């Protein structure tokens, strides 16, 4: 393509970008501008309550479906379920009743889940400038493809780093619209991504100048998550996040001599279904530890029904659950013995 035609096409693309932006420009540096290091989208509710009301939590090898199409692979986690109000304890049936406070963890997400998270949750609000996002990794960089302002296909290649405050910083190296690089032309016109893609606050993402800042906990759906990412790895179609410090030397529970996939909750009060545990002692074991435990909080009761449980001598509860995808097979394999129990009416 001749140089003049290419330059004209770039100019037309930038004009289309400018025309698609509604409202006056609000530069991040104006009036002091947003501090990219400031915590993003943290609600005012105080989660740092007395540890006696927080349920201690430990997880290992969990394929945790936090929403449909969004999976967090939890290699290990130590933290607590902290009630968000003083009026009720953490309740598994109400994801607004608690926050997961992470003390130490290694959690990864693959690019398919990240694309679904950004498209269906982070940028799903009306008027969002970004739609239909697809993510790839290449050479330690993140490649993001999608649609800008409803009709402009774009590709952005970005370097990924971690700020001292634990935010994920995406610094674009190339930006293409309709397959044409526009970074140099943007500089010529004094335009920045901050002006071309205004992000609504309250979703865990902020653009300052040309950099995206993602709060790795605020971008997640409920239940709310708190914690500080201290290490980040990008590659092989996956982002691996390390939260907090080193793994505690002593686990909360002895889950057996063989490697186990499990979730363990200890202390304080926890509710699920019609059951309330006081001084909680609940161990959830994967019925098939050959691969990570596929768990979906929205369907925990279905997994519970397809599993089995037993009490411990000190009044704890051990629950064996199948993977989410094995629920149907487990229910079909349960023998039907005896008559159906009838509710007693005095």
- Per the DSSP assignment, residues forming a β-bridge with 72 are 64
- Whole-number average pLDDT of the chain: 81
Whether 137 and 158 share a structural domain: yes
What pLDDT does 195 receive? Answer: 54
Residue 240 lies in a domain: no
Sign of CA dihedral 115, 116, 121, 125: positive
What torsion do the CA atoms of 47, 49, 53, 58 make, to the nearest 10 degrees? 60
Whether 170 and 294 share a structural domain: no
Q: Per-residue pLDDT averaged across 52-57, rounded?
A: 88
* Helices and strands in the chain, H and E counts: 6, 20
Query: Which residue carries 């709060």 as its tokens?
Result: 215
Q: Per-residue pLDDT averaged across 96-125, rounded?
A: 96
Residue 63 lies in a domain: yes
The count of domains in the chain is 2
Whether 120 and 203 share a structural domain: yes
Residue 20 lies in a domain: no
- Which is more confidently placed, 95 or 178? 95
Structure tokens, 52: 């006696």
Residue 7 lies in a domain: yes
Whether 133 and 159 share a structural domain: yes
Residue 223 lies in a domain: no
Percentage of the chain exceeding pLDDT 70: 73
pLDDT band with cut points at 50, 70 and 90 for residue 127? confident
pLDDT at 182 over 60: no
pLDDT 10s digits, 24-33:
333 333 334 4
pLDDT 10s digits, 276-323:
999 999 999 999 888 999 999 999 999 999 999 999 999 999 999 999
Among the listed ranges 15-19, 196-200, 216-220, which one has the minimum average pLDDT value?
A: 15-19
Give the domain range for residue 320.
54-109+247-330
Residue 242 lies in a domain: no
Does the reported pTM lie above 0.75? yes
Whether 135 and 189 share a structural domain: yes
Strands 70-83 and 55-67: antiparallel
Whether 323 and 259 share a structural domain: yes
What pLDDT does 25 receive? Answer: 38
């Amino acid at each position: 393509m001749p140089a003049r035609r290419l330059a004209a096409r770039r100019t037309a693309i930038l004009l289309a970008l400018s025309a698609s932006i509604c409202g006056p420009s609000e530069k991040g540096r104006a009036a002091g501008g947003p501090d990219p290091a400031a915590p993003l989208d943290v609600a005012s509710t105080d989660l740092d309550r007395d540890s006696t009301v927080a349920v201690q939590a430990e997880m290992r090898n969990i394929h945790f479906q936090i929403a449909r199409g969004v999976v967090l692979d939890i290699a290990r986690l130590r933290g607590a379920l902290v009630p968000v109000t003083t009026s009720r304890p953490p309740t598994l049936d109400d994801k607004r009743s608690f926050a997961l406070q992470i003390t130490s963890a290694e959690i990864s997400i693959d690019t398919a889940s990240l694309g679904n998270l950004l498209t269906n949750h982070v940028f799903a609000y009306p008027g969002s400038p970004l739609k239909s996002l697809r993510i790839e990794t290449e050479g330690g960089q993140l490649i993001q493809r999608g649609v800008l302002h409803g009709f402009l296909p774009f590709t952005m290649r970005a370097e990924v780093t971690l700020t001292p405050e634990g935010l994920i910083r995406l610094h674009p190296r190339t930006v293409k619209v309709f397959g044409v690089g526009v970074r140099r032309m943007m500089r010529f016109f004094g335009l920045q991504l901050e002006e071309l893609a205004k992000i609504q606050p309250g979703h865990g993402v902020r653009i300052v100048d040309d950099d995206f800042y993602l709060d790795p906990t605020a971008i997640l759906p409920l239940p709310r998550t708190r914690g500080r990412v201290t290490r980040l790895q990008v590659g092989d179609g996956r982002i691996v996040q390390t939260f907090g410090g080193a793994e505690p030397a002593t686990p909360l529970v002895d889950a057996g001599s063989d490697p186990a996939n499990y979730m363990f909750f200890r202390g304080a009060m926890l509710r699920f279904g019609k059951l309330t545990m006081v001084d909680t002692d609940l161990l959830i074991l994967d019925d098939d530890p050959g691969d990570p435990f596929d768990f979906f909080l929205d369907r925990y009761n279905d997994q519970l029904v397809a599993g089995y449980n037993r009490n411990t001598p000190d009044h704890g509860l051990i629950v064996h659950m199948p993977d989410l995808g094995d629920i149907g097979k487990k229910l079909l394999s349960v023998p039907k013995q005896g008559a159906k129990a009838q509710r007693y009416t005095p």
